[in-house]
Amino acid sequence: MFIKNAWYVAARLEEVTDKPLGRQICGEKIVFYRGKENKIYAVEDFCPHRGAPLSLGFIEDGNLVCGYHGLVMGCDGKTISMPGQRVRGFPCNKSYSVIEKYGFIWVWPGEQHLATEDDLPVLEWAESKEWAYGGGLFHINCDYRLMIDNLMDLTHETYVHANSIGQKEIDEAAPTTRVDGDHVITERHMKNIYAPPFWQMALKGNNLATDVPVDRWQICHFHAPSNVHIEVGVAHAGHGGYHAQEDKKVSSVVVDFITPETETSHWYFWGMARHFQADNAELTAQIKEGQGKIFSEDLDMLEQQQQNLLRYPNRKLLMLNIDAGGVQARKVIDRLISLEQVQNIASDQIPSVNLQ
């Protein structure tokens, strides 16, 4: 089950080139392409003529052309033309609202009349010169909610990422979780500890001493439908931790957009935005490479966890304090899905009311 009436990251901007991109999102097969006025459009990836995937086609004069028999699809899902044919009666494809912003292509897979740019998250780090961003994309064969669980309970770092960002003190610092509407926050603060290797690299990158105690923080934010941003950082101990001055800390935001593909697979857009040395491209590349390696350590665990859950469908999982972030995030998701179902029933009833 997915929230459908929401913006999801569909692709990294550089993925949609002069060729169409076919991608399944929340169970819908969609083709994305750069068309008229250099804008991105998205329609169902199904040619109304004979069912060929439009994503095997090409762009001509800003329109998407089916690569099988030349049907020209409009950005509104209506067929524009086809060689030697009148196309007025052709069935209409679903078209999708798309926004190109913050370096991503965003898509609204649900009811299109509900799509509004106002609902797009505001990502300050993506528009400010004081921030640098690097990231990538993984395809993972597990329920997108297992990835949300993963990111909202960072005690796994101690085990899965023992050699980079994990450290025993994470386990020892109990997190606090609170819910604010569709926003879930789980945070953890560790004082007077030693920075693990990844953060030592970051301290060094920001010209800060690495051999002194630090305060470390992890503030995980879940936002519906399935975005997780994590404020992470270390400051030289005794300078206020999260609130320390810029020259005493290194901090960044782990930026994760988790886009369902099917019930048991998802697209994982991972990245990191940082607020120091923003114009150091070499450091950006170094962090991206490190983060890519670290995040790839989760893949096998997540995919085998999914297989285990499919195999033991009746076995209940525990919901401990460390799981509170994921548990609350799932509650938000469930509530919004229920709301969509109620809205669908309500909108189905409107016409019958009108008939009276």
Contact residues toward its own copies (CB under 8 A) are: 29, 45-46, 48-53, 56-57, 65-70, 82-85, 90-91, 149, 153, 155-156, 158-160, 171-172, 174, 300-301, 304-305, 307-309, 311-312, 315-318, 320-323
Q: For residue 270, which of 303, 230, 305 has the smallest C-alpha distance?
A: 230
Question: What's the closest the beta carbon of residue 142 comes to its own copies, in angstroms?
Answer: 11
Question: What's the closest the beta carbon of residue 207 comes to its own copies, in angstroms?
Answer: 34
Residue 190: partners with Cβ closer than 8 Å, 6 or more residues away? 169, 170, 172, 173, 215, 216, 217
Output the CA angle 183-189-190, nearest 5 degrees.
155
16 contacts 32 by C-beta, under 8 angstroms: yes
Calpha distance 171→143 (Å, rounded): 25
Question: What's the closest the beta carbon of residue 68 comes to its own copies, in angstroms?
Answer: 5
Tell me whether strands 214-223 and 227-236 are parallel, antiparallel or unpaired.
antiparallel
Choose between 39 and 168: whose C-beta lies nearer to its own copies.
Answer: 168
Report the sign of the C-alpha dihedral through residues 122, 31, 268, 260, in that order.
positive
Choose between 308 and 338: whose C-beta lies nearer to its own copies.
Answer: 308
Choose between 45 and 215: whose C-beta lies nearer to its own copies.
Answer: 45
Question: What's the closest the beta carbon of residue 29 comes to its own copies, in angstroms?
Answer: 7
Question: What's the closest the beta carbon of residue 69 comes to its own copies, in angstroms?
Answer: 5
- 3 state SS of 26: coil
Calpha distance 125→121 (Å, rounded): 12
Choose between 245 and 308: whose C-beta lies nearer to its own copies.
Answer: 308
Q: In what order do the strands lie in the sheet with 8-12?
A: 8-12, 104-108, 95-101, 40-44, 28-34, 21-25
Question: What's the closest the beta carbon of residue 11 comes to its own copies, in angstroms?
Answer: 19
Question: What's the closest the beta carbon of residue 90 comes to its own copies, in angstroms?
Answer: 7
Tokens of 296: 């790839």
CA 9 to chain centre: 6
- 3 state SS of 338: helix
Question: What's the closest the beta carbon of residue 64 comes to its own copies, in angstroms?
Answer: 13
Choose between 130 and 172: whose C-beta lies nearer to its own copies.
Answer: 172
Choose between 153 and 256: whose C-beta lies nearer to its own copies.
Answer: 153
| Measured CA distances, 200 to 117, 214, 245 (Å) | 40, 10, 18
CA 224 to chain centre: 10
Choose between 245 and 304: whose C-beta lies nearer to its own copies.
Answer: 304
| Burial classification of residue 100, based on how many CB atoms lie within 10 Å of its CB (0-12 exposed, 13-18 middle, 19 or more buried) | middle
Choose between 49 and 288: whose C-beta lies nearer to its own copies.
Answer: 49
Choose between 159 and 341: whose C-beta lies nearer to its own copies.
Answer: 159
Question: What's the closest the beta carbon of residue 326 comes to its own copies, in angstroms?
Answer: 9
Tokens of 50: 């004979």
